[in-house]
Amino acid sequence: MKKIKQYLYIILPVILIQVLLITACSGPSSESNTPTPSPTETQTPGDTPTPTPDETAGPAQTPGDTDPPVTTLEDFALIYKEFRIEMNQNINEIINALGEPLGIFEAPSCAFDGIDRIFSYPGLQIHTYPAGDSDFIHTMSLRDDSTGTIEGIYLGDSLLLMLRAYGDDYELEFGMYTFTRGLTTLSFLVEDEVIESITYGFLIDN
């Protein structure tokens, strides 16, 4: 019975997200296995140092816009197959590092001008939002215990282990423990003191 509950906690959020994306916005949805085209490369002046990943995160700035929010090394991130994935990172960097995803779910975005996408990798789902000609990460969900957080917490671990790793500075609502660092969140859904889901989020101000 417990295995059935754990499976439902893993699969139901995916189904719910896909249904909401389809029903909340007008227009057809589509399934695509073609990766997003790589963005056009830009050159920096000769004496300008190469920007760090933190400086390149987020949508490109257009005239009249304020500087887009960016994450820092102090924000929550994930190490997946030895590659660091950060919130608000361009999805093309992930595809270039990890290869084509198992699948891509698409639906018209309710909050942004363009298409929301869900990229599926083994044990990981990455949700993106559109900005300009690119897609940027706003949510990641661990789907099994093959990958854990940088702090060493996995699906199926105990509430006690989670609290030892992250402390007591959290918000609790309906069994969901949410920790915040900078512009990122890390949420653990706990039932019977066992972690049932792990989700990373980016605090987008649109």
The pLDDT value recorded for residue 106 is: 95
Q: How far is CA 199 from each of CA 179, 186, 191, rounded to the nearest angstrom?
A: 11, 6, 15
User: The domain at 2-22+72-202 falls in which architecture?
Assistant: Sandwich (2.60)
Rounded CA-CA distance 150/152 in Å is 5
3-state secondary structure of 139: strand
Q: Say what the pTM is.
A: 0.68
The pLDDT value recorded for residue 204 is: 79
From the DSSP assignment, how many helices (H) and strands (E) are in the chain?
4, 11
The size of the chain, in residues, is 206
Helix (H) / strand (E) element for 126: namely strand 124-131
Number of neighbours of residue 153 by Cβ within 10 angstroms: 20
Q: How far is CA 83 from each of CA 28, 79, 140, rounded to the nearest angstrom?
A: 34, 5, 14
What are the structure tokens assigned to 120, written together? 């599926």
**Cα 60 off chain centre by:** 19
pLDDT bin (cut points 50, 70, 90) of residue 85 is very high
Rg of the chain taking only CA atoms, in angstroms? 18
* pLDDT tens string 62-78: 333 444 456 677 899 99
Question: Domain residue spans in the chain?
Answer: 2-22+72-202
Please compute the mean of the pLDDT values over residues 150-171 and round it to a whole number: 97
